[in-house]
Structure 1
Amino acid sequence: MDILSGFRSKCGVVITLSAFGISATSDIASAQRVACWEPDEQSCGAPGCFDVGLAWSGQPVGFALLENGSSQIVAYYNDKRQLVVTRNDGEGFNDRTVLPTRVGWDSHNRIVMAIGPSGRLHVSGNMHSTKVNYFESDGPDMIQSLRPLAIGEGNLFASGTYPEFYKNRHGDLFYLFRTGVASDGAYNLLAYDPASRHWNSQTDGPFLDFRGAGSPYILGPYQDSNGLYHIAWTIRAKRGAENNRDIFYARSTDLARWTDSKGNPLPIPIRLDMGEKVVDSPVGSGIVNGNIRMAFDNQDRPVIVFGKYTAKDTLGIFVSRLEDGRWRTVQAKDLGVLWKISGGGSVSKELRIQATKRAADGELVARYVLRQQSYQCMISNKDLTLQDCLHNQSSLPRGLMQVSKNRAGMTVQVALASTGQSPRYLLRWETLPYNRDKPRNVAPPPSKLQLFDLKYAKICHPATSG
């Protein structure tokens, strides 16, 4: 059990003076002075808390947070809906630049960032079946030099969605995005050349291309300990989340040539219903993009965790593992609740499958959120069922996950930056809930955007009562 799950205080997180190197036997420490992280305060008044700015709060949309040495870089939409990039210079977020794009009411328009092998900052976002928005700086601490760049020409870059930067084990930088729309799309994978500052397609055009017949929704690429890349995807042929079907798989040594698990080459681009089928699941079976995750067990076998309906039409979590050249799929847990998945736009999810990780002992740990309640379970290495499930085992401070006073109806949003296996920094703001990407009659007031250094939380003590 993570000790943070037991924290409780009036302000959410208690900070004791040992955080500042003051001895527990000192006169000051004996007075039991504390500092609190209080989301309701007008400004941060405790160590480890930084005011970033005012954020757009009309709907959830992903912000980005990067750790770069001793500084942190944040990309967000401000109270005027502008895309802003700002850097903590050690004395607060005083260095910032406003980029020439504004977000609407679409929750798909997330922001992503990465620092490339040459130290330049790369930013992308505010795109949902619109032109590719991409910005590049002259260095990670030179955010004022960020400028929009066209990374390619033609139809491939005229319609972008779901941008993602990806770095392999060698530090090479890749850019993944979908072109087209939900029922008529393709995926493109570009590699960054730091010498020329150009993005080069790993294949001649998209590497997954279902245009005219549907659209893939991809997860990955994931890289195992042997350096192999793995991807999986589900298919949607019509608009509406209920129209997802099936899960397919492919692997690669270089992100350019792709094969099935037996090494049989796949034609590029990979077309509809090509690839290796992991799960045969028809339209309306409850598979939905965003609720599929991949990890590797202690033998480096790919394991796919996903949600769909059980035979009882309840929500279930299923696990597939590649074993001796074949995929074995089991119903790992019946969650016993109903959720009828349907419609377009950004959908509020009753079930959210989160990242599956391999623990220090080699066992896989699956995390999921069911109706706003978080769980973590061990995946049995023998039969793939979920076992020893723990409730509310989030490592995030409880107080920061609660909506501030006088902001009823809002929801808490976070972005994390990690050092090693554990989150180190937490970016926090509040928004109205999902509205299927439709405008509301009145825009809400902006939210405070704040950064919290979680190292200060680790010296707190779990509550003994209450």
Structure 2
Amino acid sequence: MKSLHSLLFAIMLLTAACSSAARPSANCETVRPDQSAPAVPIGATWSGVYVDIGSAVSKDGVLVTAFYDAERYLTLATYDPDDGRICRKRLPSRFGGWDAHNTLVVAVDAQNRVHVAGNMHASPLVYAAGPLDDLDAVTLSPMIGRNEDSATYPHFLHDRAGNLMFLYRDGKSGNGLWLLNIWRHGRWERLGPLFSSRDAKGPVSAYPSAFVKDRSGRFHVAIVWRRTPDVATNFALTYASTRDFQQWDVGGKTVTGPLAPAMMEVVDAPGEQQGLVNNAQLALSPSGKPVILFTKYAADGHNAVFAATKSGNDWLLRNIVAGQSRAVVSGGGSMPGLPVFRFADTARRDQTLHVSAVLGQKQSELLLDADRLTVSPWRSQGGSGSGQVRAASPNFPKSLGLAPPSGMDKAAPRSTAVRQNGIDGPVKGQLRWFAQQINQDQPHACKPTAPLACKPPPSPLIWLPADGG
């Protein structure tokens, strides 16, 4: 605890010039990395709830990150490893503190201009941009000025030519239209709507996976569809691919967006009240086949993780991780306790994918055969591994002060991989911090077992470069 207090005190001194919302100018200091880690203290960040922190590394190796500071203001920071200079700027946008939907995203374009968006959940679009080497010039502004009053789920991506694009939902859960903007000639233009807000039965909203680009330049996406704000009304999982985000390949036929559920390939349609969660993940097998992970109730009523892939003209589905209990999929907000799963970034030379999943208190590490959807315990090629292990927290050096202090509510170390350009470049390092778990977007209550839950201490935000420099 002493090391945490010392580190936070040093960080707060460095950021003191940014502590007033009335002073938005950038404050710069020179920092010395912890040579034992090595680690760079970027700032002090809000720890009340886990929310995605935005980050990127420029082509010149400069880190840029967007986070909520100790007082919950949206803050930009840059770190130049060549001279050890770190600059921070607080933007006039303040996080409410508890809604895990208010993620932050960052991208650096080809002209070394930084773009940041976030702190919104069915609320006005928050967006800022400016030159990476002059944070004073990074200011909040509209993107286009239309359909920006009820934005959620910001996401930067690149098209086939490497042009910067921005995807977000306009509307609300159960009634949301997804829109795509493209950065051209120094300004944003509307490319068009991607996913519809209605089908034949009424309002809907799409919950797309991240787009995955194959070797030919085609983008693949899986979508879970919902009818109302209640997660229990998720009713179908669909798939399509595109080269230009306007014309879509659906089962060998070309359709024009925006896509609605009936216009896409149906991967699975369990219907409402069947435990389908809007967190589907998509990856491509080594041979380029789309493979989808998703969760719903199994035949026994327990939560389970399923895999799906194309088999001829149909979709093959298998239950690959069976749960031992039932977490009820119902209600609104970011829900704790639901199955968590992902495709791990582990290069394989065969037709398998590394899948990591957590159901209840059990973590599974599996090799998934992308053709047959059979699973076996994961082992690194040339090494050994275990198929099922207890969920464990990352092993952070104690000197970083990243062990959550006692008195918080289910706080844990957090980390995010930082990519060059913030989108699809190589991983250049990690940001690490601690935060409490999600709580259906509601404040954590202070209680005898967690007296700090409602007023948590800030966490150090630490940069760990992949090359140690």
1:351 and 1:163 map into 2 onto residues whose CA distance is 23
Is residue 221 from structure 1 mapped to residue 211 from structure 2 by the alignment? yes
Task: Indicate which of 42, 52, 56 corresponds to 1:52.
Answer: 42
**1:87–1:182 CA distance, 2 compared to 1 (3 A):** same
1:120 and 1:70 map into 2 onto residues whose CA distance is 14
How far apart are 1:377 and its partner, in Å? 1.1
Is residue 360 from structure 1 mapped to residue 348 from structure 2 by the alignment? yes
1:69-80 → structure 2 map (5 Å cutoff): 69-80=60-71
Contact 2:163 2:183 in 1 (8 A): yes
1:313 and 1:395 map into 2 onto residues whose CA distance is 27
1:123 and 1:58 map into 2 onto residues whose CA distance is 22
1:14 is matched with none
2:14 is matched with none
Report Cα offsets for 1:386-423 as digits up to 9, x if no partner. Answer: 21243459999523697334454322222221479985
1:118 and 1:415 map into 2 onto residues whose CA distance is 25
How far apart are 1:136 and its partner, in Å? 0.9
**1:74–1:324 CA distance, 2 compared to 1 (3 A):** same
2:78 and 2:391 map into 1 onto residues whose CA distance is 27
Contact 2:76 2:88 in 1 (8 A): yes
Contact 2:408 2:436 in 1 (8 A): no
User: Please, which moves more after superposition, 374-383 or 215-224?
Assistant: 374-383
1:305-384 → structure 2 map (5 Å cutoff): 305-357=293-345, 359-362=347-350, 363-371=352-360, 374-384=363-373
Is residue 236 from structure 1 mapped to residue 248 from structure 2 by the alignment? no
1:426 is matched with 430
**1:373–1:88 CA distance, 2 compared to 1 (3 A):** farther
Contact 2:119 2:126 in 1 (8 A): yes
1:101-112 → structure 2 map (5 Å cutoff): 101-104=93-96, 105-112=98-105
2:296 and 2:397 map into 1 onto residues whose CA distance is 31
Report Cα offsets for 1:47-97 as digits up to 9, x if no partner. Answer: 411111111122121111212233211110001111000011225563111
**1:395–1:201 CA distance, 2 compared to 1 (3 A):** farther
2:418 is matched with 417
How far apart are 1:178 and its partner, in Å? 0.6
Is residue 67 from structure 1 mapped to residue 57 from structure 2 by the alignment? yes
How far apart are 1:385 and its partner, in Å? 2.1
How far apart are 1:272 and its partner, in Å? 4.3
User: Please, which moves more after superposition, 52-61 or 359-368?
Assistant: 359-368
1:342 and 1:92 map into 2 onto residues whose CA distance is 48
Contact 1:294 1:305 in 2 (8 A): yes
Contact 1:77 1:103 in 2 (8 A): yes
Match of 1:144, SS? helix
**1:444–1:357 CA distance, 2 compared to 1 (3 A):** closer
1:403 is matched with 403
Task: Indicate which of 284, 295, 315 corresponds to 2:283.
Answer: 295
Task: Indicate which of 174, 178, 184 corresponds to 2:169.
Answer: 178
1:386-401 → structure 2 map (5 Å cutoff): 386-389=375-378, 390-391=387-388, 397-399=394-396
How far apart are 1:266 and its partner, in Å? 2.3
Is residue 252 from structure 1 mapped to residue 264 from structure 2 by the alignment? no
1:137 is matched with 130
Give, as a single letter, the amino acid of the residue that structure 1 aligns with 2:165. F
Match of 1:128, SS? coil
Report Cα offsets for 1:220-277 as digits up to 9, x if no partner. Answer: 3211111111112111112222221210111112112123031x22243223433111
Contact 1:428 1:451 in 2 (8 A): yes
**1:399–1:330 CA distance, 2 compared to 1 (3 A):** same
Quote the RMSD (CA, aligned, Å). Answer: 2.8
2:428 and 2:326 map into 1 onto residues whose CA distance is 35
Match of 1:266, SS? strand
User: For structure 1, which runs of at least 5 residues remain unmatched after alignment?
Assistant: 1-10, 12-37, 458-466
Give, as a single letter, the amino acid of the residue that structure 1 aligns with 2:104. I
Task: Indicate which of 430, 439, 443 corresponds to 2:443.
Answer: 439
1:140-151 → structure 2 map (5 Å cutoff): 140-151=132-143
Contact 2:180 2:190 in 1 (8 A): yes
Give, as a single letter, the amino acid of the residue that structure 2 aligns with 1:383. R
1:152 is matched with 144
1:19 is matched with none
Contact 1:50 1:92 in 2 (8 A): no
2:267 and 2:371 map into 1 onto residues whose CA distance is 19
Using the size of structure 1 for normalisation, the TM-score is 0.81
Is residue 283 from structure 1 mapped to residue 239 from structure 2 by the alignment? no
How far apart are 1:456 and its partner, in Å? 4.8
Using the size of structure 2 for normalisation, the TM-score is 0.80
1:422 and 1:392 map into 2 onto residues whose CA distance is 29
1:358 and 1:253 map into 2 onto residues whose CA distance is 26
Aligned length: 414
Identity of aligned residues (%): 24
Contact 2:432 2:462 in 1 (8 A): yes
User: Please, which moves more after superposition, 400-409 or 318-327?
Assistant: 400-409
**1:408–1:161 CA distance, 2 compared to 1 (3 A):** closer
